[in-house]
Chain A
Amino acid sequence: METVHPPALNPTSDAPKVMVDIRHMNKFYGDFQVLTDINLTVHARERIVICGPSGSGKSTLIRCINRLEEHQDGDIVVDGIPLTEDVKNIDQIRSEVGMCFQQFNLFPHLTVMENCLLAPMSVRNMSRSAAEALARRYLEKVKIPDQAEKYPSQLSGGQQQRVAIARALCMQPRIMLFDEPTSALDPEMINEVLETMEELAREGMTMICVTHEMGFARKVADRVVFMDQGQIVESAAPKTFFGNPKNERTQKFLQQVLQH
Chain B
Amino acid sequence: MDLQFLDIIPKSGPLFWGALYTLFVGLIACGVGIFVGTGLLLMRNSRFWLLRTFVGIYGSFIRGTPALVQILVFYYALAPLTGINIGPFTAGIMAVGFNSGAYVAEILRGGLSRIPKGQWEAAEALGLPKRKVWFKIILPQVFHSVIPLLVNEFTMVIKITPLLSTITLVELTRASQMLYNETFRPVEVLSLAALIYFIICFSISQFGEHLQRRSRKYRL
Q: Do A and B come from one complex?
A: yes
Contacts of A177 in B (CB 8 A): 125
- Which of these, A68, A98, A167, A171, contacts B124 with CB under 8 Å? A68
Report the minimum CB–CB distance from A40 to chain B (whole Å): 19
Give, as a whole number of angstroms, the nearest-CB distance from B116 to chain A: 7
Would you call B141 and A109 a contact (CB within 8 A)?
A: yes
In this complex, the member of A109, A119, A168 whose beta carbon has the largest number of chain B beta carbons within 10 angstroms is: A109
Q: Is the CB of B121 within 8 A of A105?
A: yes
> Is the pair B127, A123 in contact by a Cβ cutoff of 8 Å?
yes
| Cβ-defined contact, A122 with B118, below 8 A | no
The CA of A108 and the CA of B124, in the complex, are separated in Å by 16
For A167, list chain B residues within 8 Å (CB): 126
Centre residue among A97, A119, A167, A171 by max chain B CB count within 10 A: A119
Q: Which of A105, A151, A168 is the one whose CB lies under 8 Å from B118?
A: A105
Q: A109, B220: Cβ atoms under 8 Å?
A: no
Q: Does B210 contact A (CB under 8 A)?
A: no
Give chain B residues whose Cβ lies under 8 Å from the Cβ of A91: 127, 129
Question: Given A95-B127, A108-B141, A171-B126, do A101 and B121 touch, yes or no (CB 8 Å)?
Answer: yes
Residues of A within 8 A of B136 (CB): 118, 122
A33→B219 CA distance, assembly (Å): 36
A113 beta carbon closer than 8 Å to chain B: no
The yes or no answer to A99 lying at the interface (CB within 8 A) is yes
Known contacts: A101-B118, A152-B218, A152-B220. The answer to whether A66 contacts B125 by CB under 8 A is: yes
Number of interface residues of A (CB under 8 A): 28
When distances are taken between beta carbons in the complex, the residues of chain A under 8 Å from B123 are: 107
State whether A119 and B126 are in contact (beta carbons under 8 Å apart), knowing that A101-B121, A105-B116, A151-B218 are contacts in the complex. Answer: yes
Minimal beta-carbon separation of B103 from chain A (angstroms): 24
Instruction: For A66, list chain B residues within 8 Å (CB).
Output: 124-125
Q: Least Cβ distance of A129 to chain B in Å?
A: 20
The answer to whether B220 and A153 have CB atoms under 8 Å apart is yes
Q: Identify the interface centre among B137, B144, B218: most chain A CB within 10 Å of its CB.
A: B218
Q: How large is the interface on B (under 10, 10 to 19, 20 to 34, 35 or more residues)?
A: 20 to 34
Q: Is the CB of A107 within 8 A of B122?
A: yes
State whether A106 touches B122 (Cβ < 8 A): yes
0 or 1 for each of B138-151: is its CB under 8 Å from A? (1 = yes): 00110010000000
CA distance A119 to B133 in the complex (A): 10
Q: How far is the CA of A94 from the CA of B218 in the complex (A)?
A: 27
- The verdict on A103 contacting chain B, using a C-beta distance below 8 Å, is yes
Interface residue? B119 (CB, 8 A): yes
Q: Which residues of A contact B122 (CB under 8 A)?
A: 99, 101, 105-107, 164
Q: Which residues of B contact A106 (CB under 8 A)?
A: 122, 220
Contact B128 A122 (CB under 8 A): yes
Chain A residues, CB < 8 A from B124? 66, 68, 94
B132 beta carbon closer than 8 Å to chain A: yes
Q: List 21 A-B contacts (CB under 8 A).
A: A68-B121, A68-B124, A94-B124, A94-B127, A95-B126, A95-B127, A99-B122, A103-B118, A106-B122, A107-B119, A109-B141, A118-B128, A118-B132, A118-B137, A122-B132, A123-B126, A152-B220, A153-B218, A153-B219, A167-B126, A171-B127
Please name 10 further chain A to chain B contacts, defined as beta carbons within 8 Å, in addition to the given A108-B218, A151-B217, sorted by A numbering: A68-B121, A97-B125, A103-B116, A107-B119, A107-B122, A109-B144, A151-B218, A152-B218, A153-B218, A153-B220
A residues apposed to B, CB below 8 Å: 66, 68, 91, 94-95, 97-99, 101, 103-109, 118-119, 122-123, 151-153, 164, 167-168, 171, 177
Interchain residue pairs A-B with the least CB separation, the first 3: A105-B122, A94-B127, A105-B118
